[in-house]
Structure 1
Amino acid sequence: MPTPTRVGLIGAGYIADWHAAALAATPGVEITAVCDPNADAARALADRHGARIFSALETLIESRACDAVHVLTPPHLHLDLGLRCLGAGLHTLIEKPVATSADEARQLAEAARAAGVRFHPGHNFLGLPSYLRLKRLVAEGALGRIAEADIRWALPFAPLRSGPYGIWPLREPKNLLLEIGPHLAAFAVDLFGPLDVQATVLSHPVELPGGDPRPQGMRILARAGHVDVTLRLSLVETVDDRAVTLRGSSGRARLDYAADTLVVDRENTSDLILNPLRRQLDLVGQHLRAGVTNAAVQSRSLNRQSPYARSFRGMCAAIHGRADTPAPDPRFAADAAVHVMQALDDALAKLSPAELTPKAPAVRTRAPKPDALVIGGTGFIGRTLVRTLVAQGRDVRVLSRGRHGPFPDLPDRVETVSASLTDREALVAAMDGVREVYNLARALGSSWDDCLERDVRPAVTVAEAALEAGVARLVYTGTIASYDMSEPSATITETTSFGADMTDRNLYARSKAECEARLMALHRERGLPLTIARPGIVVGPGGPLQHWGIGRWHGAGAVRLWGRGDNRLPFVLNDDVADGLIRMAAHPGAAGEDFNLVGPPMLSARDYFDAIHARLGARIRVAPGNLTAFWAADAVKTALKRHALGRRDALRPSLRDWKSRAHLSPFADDKPREVLGWTPETDREAFLRRAVDEAGLFGF
């Protein structure tokens, strides 16, 4: 039996999960190492695959634990990490973009040649089965002589409107093209060769915090031999349209690479009457076959082989399945990486310096003296809270995973520090000089043990740090989702309990309830100066269009409501939530208390979507959701997970949990009004102005 290829993952973030799942499904491959300075992230990924954990690349290389690596870090780290891995004799795949310029890509390719190892770009969509069929059609001449290629990525990029703003794609205007553009350019280069870029046009600018604009639309005109190539990016709230369309003399092919389907439209030799009928029937048959095939694949794999997952599987099979052949698959060769990055360099060169230069951050004239710490200050509620505190003349410290926060216009008032929420010593240091701490952090787990580790443990660690640091008030944000909201006749107040048994509730509701219980125990037993806030369905500027507190979204244009959608929902403006949190921190009698921050009952889900249509001209397809059917389907999925996949920890669903998602029970908001003097917006027109008109729901 051949010796398996030992692969190490460098970086344990979101994309690492997709690579790891694909590698685990690739014959002859074994994941042996995970390297990440974030020990918790590395451990969570490594434990799932029986791999060793490393915190530094040098240690990984010295261990000789792997033969190949996948570099899955932010792009600005790719060159240094890639050169070190290649220089150490490791075959190296680098997630797209492989670098930040074509020159860097050439350095990586040369380093691979010098070391006698392989360098592969992570252009995963080229691994789709449907793309290989399209490539064969082109090679066989089945589409005739191809004149045009339209390659597009139309998919909302939520961070442009609701953050987090400190991520690499948003740090400079060019980064959005470098982040997404490789997907498009890789198709063109693989099909037709190097691109000669003619023009680049930007559109739909949106301002990030601090008035720093970013384009949400990009169009690149290029040629590859006799083929006119158009690359299009659209990142506003739009219907998902990620496709490669080729127009030739004998046919038109459309590859939907988001769905892994290929449809070919060709003329036929029937007479004038039958020709159009036969043509449409052929298209119907192709769509039907594609839909049935994909449904069968998803059913057999229990939803583990989505088109996105299949793209990584195809890429890993092409790369690691050819490890002993003299030449790599051309789709994933070093030369392809260089040509793709050169096309993006050339596209950026067509823009003016003003279009590529981020707005210069404001100059700091004084060092902030924070008396408030906001954990989760880069999120939707957190950003508003920080700016509200600053507007009141306060200085604020924001705890973030990175040092790039969404406050470039407030250098005199806001400082950003980085610390793990499980590092008590670092948290105590971050609370130095602070009298109030707002913990808005949340983490979604895939199992109860995961929730205990990623959500409950950090919440308790923050609380213990607050006790050690001697802060005057810790405001913790729970959620109204922890309540049983399944009974329309039951009005919920702060005296309403969550229920003794939360094991049949969704993980988010259960985890937040557990956090509250443990923090309240610390209040009773050790005097933790705690106040708990439970915001309702929060809307307002900077919030998402696709709010999952209202229903299950299917792209930006369709939503299935939780229930009929005619009951009044506990909407609340983000501005009002921030005001309530500040009042909780300041009120002497709020320690040991909890407050439900919900606005007056003004709108149902259907009222909300009707308002979006009336005020913005966008009709979203809204359908009622049968909660009993949701519950039954969930029960079937749980049974399959437990018995087919061996997931004994799969959540036991309940009908009351699904009914609670519809927020059937009304809320009374007397306590925050009477105790805190909190006054949420009660005027419907003013509410809709902030929640819809000024919210930037569609990005333009």
Structure 2
Amino acid sequence: MSDIRIGLIGAGYIATWHADALKATAGVEISAVCDVSAGAAQGLADAYGARAFTSVAEMINAKAVDAVHILTPPHLHESIAIECLKGGLDVLVEKPVAESAASTRAIQAAAEASGKRFHAGHNFLGLPSYLRMKAAMQRGDYGRVSAAEITWALPLAPLRSGPFNLWLLREPKNLILELGPHLMAFAHDLFGSIEVLHAEASKPVALPGDDMRPQGIRILAKAGDVDVTFSISMVETTDDRSVTLRGSSARARLDYANDVLIAERENASDLVVNPLRRQLSLSGQHLREGVRNAFVQLSSLNTKNPYGRSFRGMNGSIYSNLADGKPEDPRFSGSSAIAVMQALDDAISKLPAEILETAAPAVQTRKPKPTAMVIGGTGFIGRALTRRLVADGRDVRVLSRGTSGPFPDLPDSVETVGVSLRDEQALSDAMKGIDVVFNLAKSMDKTWEDALQNDVGVAMNIARASQKAKVKRLVYTGTIASYDMSDPGTKITEDTGFGDDMSDRNLYARSKAECERQLMQLHQSEGLPLVIARPGIVVGPGGPLQHWGIGRWHGAGAVRIWGHGHNILPFVLNDDIADGLVRMIDAPVEGQSFNLIGERMFSARDYFDAIHQSLGARIRVSSGNLYAFYASDAVKYALKKYALRRHGVIRPSLADWKSRAHFSPFENEKPKRVLGWSPEADRAVFIEKAISDANLFGF
């Protein structure tokens, strides 16, 4: 029998997880990728030897697939699923499978009418450790289970720092629809029908325009004789994604984020030995789970992490049953999807009405007349810059992937337009009437070829469009990461060059440097009205707690600093960056570059001490041995290049790792002298703006 041909509809972040799991699943092949973005579809299709399509109808008519995984934003799931089912395809729909139980029933009805299968993407039910927990419970190993606590506690950064135009932030209920399916799917699969008794929300946070969203949700329910508590926490918190079963013989806890199952049981020893045996049992189980997971990671060269294994388990069950003509697995069936979505509908209905309300957008009294354009205006720096431009009396056109942005309170002054950054003519048309363009866009790529296309190519597109539209000033934001910052004895100024050979630097640093080189060449040869800004480590309201410019984070409570952490870091406030960028509009600085670095105040350790003193939160800080990072990088490089035969692997560099520690001090005299820029110099005020008022923890 030939392999089942799978099409992926949607080429975003989650598509790669599905694609990698399908590649490892016997009896299937990825034969097509469909996305409204031709570039995104082609890029993912090329990586897996598939055909690219830009419409679902085109893919169906081409008879290129037997089944599809629908990975688009949830509000599109129902229509696409029904279209594919009517087209004779089996479907798997990523969670949430729809926006309501009614929509889910419509998908199931279409599946029944077409004789095809509708599967729900409840991937965590495919974890090996979950299957062990379920089997042990059904055997009675935990005794009679009376209660369960199912938790999703993981920071959701977009709530506090954007992007704010995501589907899950459009309405408060979308947060439950996005995260709740994981929790409800566990409960339904373990215990059956769920009766929701109560729901409450807490820790509200304001999106732009004072549009409130809850960051904590608690749901009380019953499933048969089992009392079930569902908890969702999205503030900066210790990662706790778990299922705890409280039985008469044991308390079992599944850490489904790490594929770890531990059961705490009673024993019949006397009062002296009893606590010792209990703890020895727990330590032995933790050792067993740790060794098992370490073996899985080592033997697979880190390609079987728990999240990836959950997709593999789901796919293995779905497609082996489909190929063998067996009934569908109840865990992933349409009927289970309906039950899960109905429980979510019931939970949402139990929340107070005011929790579910969205703020009414401000009424527009005039149409904006933009003279400034911000590309990347929905990002951290872009939002502050846009608001500063408006405060200065300028109307702004923000380029975004969509037509909505984080400025609902500024309808008279800000308009958001969706234009492809690869379409030079469309960019040029969008720049008509614009005096200054700020290019804050960046691309996070995995290969140099992709970076040349998605970052360097886009930067040049924007530059040529600016010339065609006769824009008076193009301000491009590079990065200080492009410098070699490995030597404490080298002071960096704007005259400090980048390395001649940057092939061993990280892709972001190398790509940004190449963007600068080509843009400056265009300035010199064709008069591009260019100014370059290189921000430092940017902090302030809207910025993340887990800032990777400082170190490698392990959840919200632990960070490994790049290096020893005692050298002064180039911190700068976001508002000061916006001020510096605005000063570049009219200053006679064409063809120049500026390092926007704040005054020398804090080392990494000073910064975390300030967080502790200001907010009462002690973050566990460890030094990062850069030689160890480099050695680990070298091993990974060898494995990827010679064992996995991957193309475009970056050669490791000790200087690159040392540069992450920002050992070289910066001089910020030029922007102060030439632009009249005055970054915050008062330490107490800086702490207030960067930490106390920055809502780093979400509450």
TM bucket normalised to smaller: over 0.9
- Structure 2 Cα separation of the partners of residues 356 and 548 of structure 1: 34
Q: In structure 1, the residue corresponding to 2:416 is in which secondary structure? A: strand
Q: CA deviation at 1:648?
A: 4.2
| Structure 2 CA distance for aligned equivalents of residues 305 and 464 of structure 1 | 44
> What one-letter code is carried by the residue in structure 1 that aligns with 2:598?
G
Match of 1:643 in 2: 642
1:474 is matched with 474
Distance, in Å, in 2 between the alignment partners of 1:457 and 1:234 is 40
Work out the CA distance in 1 between the residues paired with 2:647 and 2:6. 29
- The residue number in structure 1 matching 2:625 is 626
Equivalent residue, structure 1, for 2:463: 463
Question: Residue 585 of structure 2 aligns to a residue in which SS?
Answer: helix
Encode CA deviations 1:547-601: one digit per residue, 9 max, x unaligned: 01101100000001111111111100000000101111221x2110000000111
| 1:219-230 equivalence runs, <5 A | 219-230=218-229
Which digits, 9 at most, give the CA deviation of each residue in 1:224-245, with x for residues without a partner? 0100011100000000000000
Rounded Cα–Cα distance in structure 2 between residues aligned with 1:480 and 1:81 = 44
Structure 1 Cα separation of the partners of residues 429 and 297 of structure 2: 49
Give the conservation status (yes or no) of the 8 Å contact 2:404–2:417. Answer: no
**Matching residue of 1:90:** 89
Which residue does the alignment assign to 2:126? 127
Distance 2:228 2:661 in 1: 47
| Residue identity in the other structure for 2:310 | S
CA distance in 2, matches of 1:72, 1:688: 42
Counterparts of 1:685 and 1:518, CA distance in 2: 41
Instruction: Give the aligned partner of residue 425 of structure 1.
Output: 425
Alignment map for 1:15-164 (pairs within 5 Å) = 15-164=14-163
CA contact (8 A) 2:200 2:352 kept: no
Quick one: which amino acid aligns to residue 584 of structure 1? M
Q: Which residue of 1 aligns with 2:321?
A: 322
Q: How do residues 323-342 of structure 1 correspond to structure 2 at under 5 angstroms?
A: 323=322, 324-342=324-342
1:243 pairs with 2:238: no
Counterpart code for 1:130: S
For residue 302 of structure 2, what is the aligned residue in structure 1?
303
How many Å separate the matches in 2 of 1:307 and 1:482? 34
Question: Separation in 2 of the partners of 1:289 and 1:117?
Answer: 42
Distance between the aligned counterparts of 1:6 and 1:379, measured in 2? 38
* 3-state SS of 1:309 partner: helix
Any idea what SS the aligned residue of 2:687 has? helix
* Counterpart amino acid of residue 620 in structure 1: I
Query: How many angstroms apart in 2 are the aligned matches of 1:270 and 1:105?
Result: 52
Q: Secondary structure at the match of 1:652?
A: coil
Q: How does 1:483-502 map to 2 (within 5 A)?
A: 483-502=483-502
Following superposition, the deviation at residue 304 of structure 1 comes to 1.2
Once the two structures are superposed, residues 61-101 of structure 1 have per-residue CA deviations (whole angstroms, 9 ceiling, x without a partner) of 10110000000000000011011011111100000000000
| Deviation per residue, 1:614-668 (Å, 9 max, x gap) | 0000000001111111111111111111111112421111111111111011111
Q: Distance in 1 between matches of 2:687 and 2:41?
A: 44
Give the structure-1-normalised TM-score: 0.99
Mapped partners of 1:580, 1:533: distance in 2: 8
Q: 1:37 and 1:264 mapped to 2: Cα distance?
A: 47
Partner of 1:440: 440
Is residue 266–residue 278 contact of structure 2 (8 Å, CA) maintained in 1? yes
1:278 aligns with 2:280: no
Residue identity opposite 1:387 in structure 2:
R
Aligned residues: 698
**Aligned partner of 1:450: which letter?**
D
Q: Structure 1 residue 380: deviation in Å?
A: 0.3
Match of 2:544 in 1: 544
1:276, CA displacement in angstroms? 1.7
- Cα distance per residue 1:319-364 (max 9 Å; x no partner): 1111033410010000100000000000011122221111111111
How far is 1:55 from its partner?
0.4
Unaligned 5+ runs, structure 2: none
Residue number in structure 1 paired with 2:293? 294
1:496 aligned partner, one-letter code: T
- Whole-angstrom CA distance in 2 between matches of 1:393 and 1:354: 35
Please report the RMSD computed on the Cα atoms of aligned residues, expressed in angstroms.
0.8
* Contact 2:145/2:247 (<8 A) preserved: yes
After TM superposition, the runs of 4+ consecutive aligned structure 1 residues lying more than 6 A away are none
SS at match of 1:178: helix
User: How far, CA to CA, are the matches of 2:230 and 2:151 in structure 1?
Assistant: 6
Answer with 443-452 or 220-229: which moved more: 443-452
Query: Is 1:13 aligned to 2:26, yes or no?
Result: no
TM-score (norm 2): 0.99
Q: How does 1:457-606 map to 2 (within 5 A)?
A: 457-587=457-587, 589-606=588-605
User: Does structure 1 retain, via aligned residues, the 8 Å contact 2:173–2:356?
Assistant: yes
Deviations 1:250-282 (A, max 9, x none): 111100000001001111222332222111111
2-structure distance, mates of 1:570, 1:382: 20
Unaligned stretches of 5+ in structure 1? Answer: none
Name the counterpart of 1:191: 190
CA distance in 1, matches of 2:666, 2:334: 60
What's the counterpart of residue 345 of structure 1?
A: 345
Supply the distance in 2 between the matched residues of 1:423 and 1:274 (Cα, whole angstroms): 73
Taking the aligned partners of 1:615 and 1:576, their CA distance within structure 2 comes to 21
